[in-house]
Amino acid sequence: MKTAEKNDPYSMNQDLRLSKCLYCGQARHDRDARFCIMCGNPIVNRCSECPHRNIAIARYCEKCGKPTLFFLRGLLQPFPAEPSTHVYHQPPDPPEGLYARMKRLEDERAAKKAAAKRPEAKKKTEASKKRK
């Protein structure tokens, strides 16, 4: 087991049983245990209605949609009602493509040329030539 997995409070075995209790941190349980021997909280995140076992971070059953035991016992906090600053449903902007970059550079060059052709710019360049 990797170090990151050992330190993860939500690490589970293949039977979807926590390796440590989320409430008290107790790590010694029988292979078929469903509840912690120290605090009595569940170590298997079962659905409150159906017999489905959910992953440790599930607040609601993925089969029937009812609350899980971890959520009902307060071992998991409610999902934020307000959206966070990080938006999960929108992919990041794609990188600028070759043609888009060429077009942008071409537009920048055209804008510089247009600015150089303006009368104010000509006066400034003529004044700087006279000084020399």
- Percentage of the chain lying above the pLDDT 90 cut: 21
pTM check: above 0.95: no
User: Where residue 111 falls among pLDDT bands split at 50, 70, 90?
Assistant: very high
**CA-CA-CA-CA torsion sign (3, 73, 60, 30):** positive
Residues 47-55: contacts with CB within 8 Å, 24+ apart? 48/72, 53/15, 53/16, 54/16, 55/10, 55/12, 55/16
Sorted by where each begins, the domain ranges of the chain are 1-77, 98-131
pLDDT of residue 125: 59
> In terms of pLDDT, which residue wins out, 112 or 15?
112
Tokens of 57: 């971070």
Count Cα atoms within 13 angstroms, Cβ side, for 80: 6
Residue 58 has pLDDT above 80, yes or no: yes
